[in-house]
């Protein structure tokens, strides 16, 4: 087993590491002060993930280390690590908390002393905390961030009502401080403990389900409709190539966001999917019409949750709603799996495809964690983040409107 970096050997940063002097990059608390993410032992990381108080398939080691190695604009991350008390045996400290991290400068081009949760190529950045000692883990992550020169942590895309966020809130309240919400939204999720047919009837209604059955019958005119799930590493590797081809054939390719369009992204997903499949944490669902794959989706699994990462479809079959047809099959399969309690759609708010099908809602947001009481630097960081949000939100809506108009013309 590769031993983890000794936490005692990680250099503590002085104030100079966190405060900009000659250039914005000097405001990066993570430069030289934190453990490189790639230096974390995957075995100990996996052991922590198995004990996590809250699941996050995007901070599993096989996923995060693959991103750190090759993914576009997401490589060379640092890590905040929380450790149990050291024992007499060298290197025997237990990893009880982990948060991939980057500087505020790298995340948002702001020369201020804060650390931000690393981008995991998905919209969920909940840190991993040991379920037996979540408050202690959160406290030690905050302590390491302070030692690195940061005045605040910014947790991006965390489940606001989740156990991890509650642990950070309890730690802050004991110090007379409160977390500061930067932005929030609700996204679709699936209560997989329910009966799938009942859930779909309630969500879609008899008329819509009848229409979807009609579309499926029309799809069957192109060949028998089949649904299959790849689970083993070999199966996942083969199914992934089908997914990459489908994703790169549609509108994602036109926007330049298909994984196969960037060599680093393609290398990341090939490594991550197979690595996770070796631990039963990744599967790829495919819908076929005869021999032709018409839709495929990557699903991650961690503890009692599943995560609907990405969906690719053959748009030549668009009039038969292949993405919806596949999602219905995935819904039935996950609801029938006793190991899964909830499925996170990972979708944008008000997503037109998934929102009508999965009627559960998960509160997600960005939260600022102050690392000191009455710290004027925290106030400055909060104000800067709030100003950025006010500027970016109208621009984001304008981009979405332009895209919709272009798609309608097409």
CA dist., res. 183 & res. 237, Å (int)? 37
pLDDT surpassing 90 at residue 23: no
Tokens of 6: 């000794």
At residue 131's C-alpha, the angle toward residues 125 and 135, to 5°, is 80
Distance (Å, rounded) from C-alpha 325 to C-alpha 257? Answer: 23
**Rg for the chain (alpha carbons), in Å?**
22
Average pLDDT over residues 368-393: 93
pLDDT, one tens digit per residue, over 125-182 is 999 999 999 999 999 999 999 999 999 999 999 999 999 999 999 999 999 999 999 9
**Residue 227: φ, ψ to 5°:** -125, 130
Q: Report the pLDDT averaged over residues 68-89.
A: 84
Q: How far is C-alpha 245 from the chain's CA centre?
A: 23
Q: Are 38 and 74 in contact (CB under 8 A)?
A: no
Q: What is the DSSP string of 227-280?
A: EEEE-SHHHHHHHHHHHHHHHTTSHHHHHT--GGGSHHHHHHHHHHHHHHHTTT
340 vs 395, which has greater pLDDT?
A: 340
pLDDT of 389: 86
Residue 152's SS3 state is strand
| Per-residue model confidence as pLDDT tens digits over 260-308 | 999 999 999 999 999 999 999 999 999 999 999 999 999 999 999 999 9
Query: Which residue in this structure is represented by tokens 């905390």?
Result: 129
In this prediction, residue 404 has a pLDDT band, given cuts at 50, 70 and 90, of: low
Instruction: Name the E strands within 134-196.
Output: 152-159, 180-191
User: In the prediction, which pLDDT does 250 show?
Assistant: 79
Q: Are strands 342-344 and 305-313 parallel, antiparallel or unpaired?
A: parallel
Kindly state the average pLDDT of the residues 42-53: 97
pTM: 0.88
What would the two tokens of residue 347 be? 């979708």
Question: For residue 116, what pLDDT is reported?
Answer: 98
Q: Is the pLDDT of residue 362 over 50?
A: yes
Mean pLDDT for the chain? 89
CA distance 158 to 179: 13
Distance CA 329, CA 348 (A): 21
The helix (H) or strand (E) run that includes residue 80 is strand 78-83
How many whole angstroms separate alpha carbon 201 and alpha carbon 78? 46
Which residue's entry shows tokens 């302070």? 146
Are 220 and 285 within 8 A, CB to CB? no
The pLDDT value recorded for residue 403 is 61
List pLDDT tens digits, range 50-71: 999 999 999 999 999 999 999 9
Digit-coded pLDDT (tens) for 221-259: 999 999 999 999 999 999 999 999 999 997 777 788 899
> What phi and psi, each to the nearest 5 degrees, are found at residue 225?
-80, 125
Higher pLDDT, 93 or 127: 127
Could you tell me the two tokens for 136? 């202690």
Closest CA to 403 of 259, 187, 256, 255: 255
Reply yes or no on whether the pLDDT at 13 is more than 50.
Answer: no
The stretch 382-388 carries a mean pLDDT of 95
CA distance linking residue 67 with residue 116, whole number of Å: 16
- pLDDT score at 407: 57
Least confident among 42-46, 96-100, 297-301, 404-408: 404-408
Does the pLDDT at position 123 exceed 80? Answer: yes
């Amino acid at each position: 087993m590769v031993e983890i970096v000794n936490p005692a050997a990680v250099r503590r940063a002085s104030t100079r590491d966190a405060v900009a002097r000659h250039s914005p990059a000097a405001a990066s608390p993570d430069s030289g002060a934190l453990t490189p993410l790639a230096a974390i032992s995957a075995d100990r990381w996996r052991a922590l993930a198995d004990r996590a108080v809250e699941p996050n398939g995007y901070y599993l080691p096989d996923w995060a280390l693959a991103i750190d190695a090759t993914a576009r604009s997401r490589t060379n991350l640092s890590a905040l690590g929380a450790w149990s008390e050291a024992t007499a045996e060298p290197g025997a400290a237990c990893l009880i908390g982990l948060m991939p991290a980057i500087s505020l400068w790298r995340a948002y081009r702001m020369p201020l002393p804060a650390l931000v949760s690393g981008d995991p190529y998905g919209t969920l950045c909940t840190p991993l905390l040991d379920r037996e000692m979540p408050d202690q883990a959160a406290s030690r992550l905050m302590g390491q961030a302070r030692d690195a020169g940061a005045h605040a942590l910014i947790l991006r895309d965390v489940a606001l009502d989740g156990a991890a966020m509650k642990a950070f809130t309890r730690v802050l309240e004991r110090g007379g401080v409160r977390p500061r919400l930067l932005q929030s939204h609700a996204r679709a999720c699936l209560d997989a403990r329910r009966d799938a047919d009942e859930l779909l009837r309630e969500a879609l209604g008899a008329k819509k389900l009848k229409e979807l059955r009609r579309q499926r019958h029309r799809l069957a005119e192109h060949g028998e409709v089949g649904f299959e799930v790849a689970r083993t590493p070999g199966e996942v590797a083969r199914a992934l190539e089908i997914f990459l081809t489908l994703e790169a054939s549609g509108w994602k390719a036109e926007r330049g966001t298909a994984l196969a369009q960037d060599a680093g992204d393609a290398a990341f997903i090939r490594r991550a999917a197979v690595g996770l499949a070796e631990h039963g944490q990744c599967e790829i669902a495919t819908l076929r019409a005869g021999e032709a794959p018409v839709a495929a989706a990557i699903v991650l699994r961690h503890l009692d949750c599943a995560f609907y990462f990405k969906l690719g479809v053959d748009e030549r079959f668009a009039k038969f709603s292949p993405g919806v047809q596949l999602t219905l099959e995935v819904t039935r399969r996950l609801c029938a799996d006793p190991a899964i309690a909830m499925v996170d759609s990972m979708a944008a708010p008000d997503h037109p495809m998934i929102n009508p099908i999965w009627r559960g809602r998960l509160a997600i947001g960005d939260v600022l964690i102050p690392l000191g009481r009455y710290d004027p630097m925290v106030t400055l960081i909060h104000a800067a983040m709030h100003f950025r949000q006010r500027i970016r939100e109208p621009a984001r809506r304008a981009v979405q409107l332009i895209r919709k108009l272009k798609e309608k013309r097409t």
